[in-house]
Amino acid sequence: MSIVLENVLNGLMTRYKERVPDVSGIINAMIKENIIQQAGDIENDHIAFRTMGVPHLGVQSLEKIFLHYGYEKRDYYHFPEKKLDAYWYAPPAPQYPRIFISELRVKDLSPEIQQIITSYTNEVTGDPVDALNLDDAGAVDQFLHSGLWRLPTWHDFETLGKQSEYAAWVIYNRYYLNHFTISVHNLKDGYNTIARFNEFLERNGFKLNNAGGKIKTSPDGGLLQSSTVAEMIDATFAGGEVHSISGSYIEFAERRVLAQFAHLPKDQIQRIHRREGFEAGNADKIFESTYSSQTKR
């Protein structure tokens, strides 16, 4: 089972690295500054997917893949302004990343936008995950990187984007990994806080999302996050038209040690001793990493 999960995760990371050159850029800068020896030294805090909340798709469909691999569904988050819902999933073992899956509340959008979205998603007439052999990593990898509906037109993409940049992103990018997340708290001194890691990133020329400030902090002070601004990809739309649109980005997370474990020596601190889960207020701003308010800054 874990071999299948590992292969699926590796497949996701391979495509993601191809689409987001900043991933290798950051890894190389980390190696150059001796923060890590190799890419494998990085702890992946979590990965994230975006979905369309329509019948046969959305969270209820995509989550089946990861529930099958032993992930457990945890907290629910709601984003009223962005019209999104999300859940996070705890991995079957601590060496695997958490998963964050969000979903567009399609029914909450205007009839015109709903009509555009369903003109694509109605091509999916049954839950595609039910038709998959989830023990076949190759089949799952192919599914996560294949078109669920026809290529969108540039006109539809632009119309969607005016009401929901998230909707436009999903219509084009589908289940491509939205981001992976570097855990910074286990890095060496000087780099093991979000504040210091952000300094390192900016010194090396990486552009950070500044929506709500570059550091997003949970009210309990235990979860601090930052992210790059999404990289642009050359997207081919219906009729072969090519336009530059937002692809994926990279996130950074610092999970502080919980007060009840503050007395533990540093070398005994494990994942279970740190702040778990996510934070709606942080996430709300991290979503904007792919929004034009950030990418066109």
Counting contacts by CB under 6 A, is residue 278 touching ligand OOG? Answer: yes
**Per-residue binder mask for Ni ion (CB under 5 A), 220-259, x = binder:** -------------------------------x--------
**Per-residue binder mask for Ni ion (CB under 5 A), 25-64, x = binder:** -----------------------x----------------
- Least distance in Å: CB of 136 to ligand OOG? 27
Rounded CA-CA distance 152/197 in Å is 38
Rounded CA-CA distance 232/221 in Å is 32
Nearer to Ni ion, 54 or 229 (CB): 229
Counting contacts by CB under 6 A, is residue 102 touching ligand OOG? Answer: yes
Nearer to ligand OOG, 17 or 136 (CB): 17
Tell which one of 16, 50, 65, 226 touches ligand OOG (CB under 6 A). 50
Number of residues that bind ligand OOG (CB under 6 A): 13
CB-facing half-sphere around the CA of 96: CA atoms within 13 A:
23
Tell which one of 59, 89, 283, 295 touches ligand OOG (CB under 6 A). 283
* Complete DSSP assignment for the chain: -HHHHHHHHHHHHHHHHHH-HHHHHHHHHHHHTTS-SSGGG--EEEEEEEEE-STT-SHHHHHHHHHHTT-EEEEEEEETTTTEEEEEEE-SSTTSPEEEEEEE-GGGS-HHHHHHHHHHHTT--S-GGGGS-TT-HHHHHHHHTS-SSPPPPHHHHHHHHHH-HHHHHHHHHTTS--EEEEE-TTSPTTSSSHHHHHHHHHHTTPPBP-TT-SSEE-TTS-EEEEEBPPPEEEEE-GGG-EEEEE--EEEEEEEPBPGGGTTS-GGG--GGGB--S--HHHHHHHGGGGSHHHHT-
**Per-residue binder mask for ligand OOG (CB under 6 A), 247-276, x = binder:** ----x-------------------------
Counting contacts by CB under 6 A, is residue 286 touching ligand OOG? Answer: yes
Q: Residue 46 — left, alpha, or beta (φ > 0 → left; ψ -120 to 50 → alpha)? A: beta
- Least distance in Å: CB of 280 to Ni ion? 12
**Per-residue binder mask for Ni ion (CB under 5 A), 162-201, x = binder:** ----------------------------------------
**Per-residue binder mask for ligand OOG (CB under 6 A), 199-228, x = binder:** --------------------------x---
Tell which one of 287, 291, 294, 295 touches ligand OOG (CB under 6 A). 287
Subset of 177-196 contacting ligand OOG (CB under 6 A): 178
Counting contacts by CB under 6 A, is residue 48 touching ligand OOG? Answer: yes
Counting contacts by CB under 5 A, is residue 279 touching Ni ion? Answer: no
Nearer to Ni ion, 156 or 251 (CB): 251
Residues that bind ligand OOG (CB under 6 A): 48, 50, 100, 102, 178, 225, 251, 278, 282-283, 286-287, 289
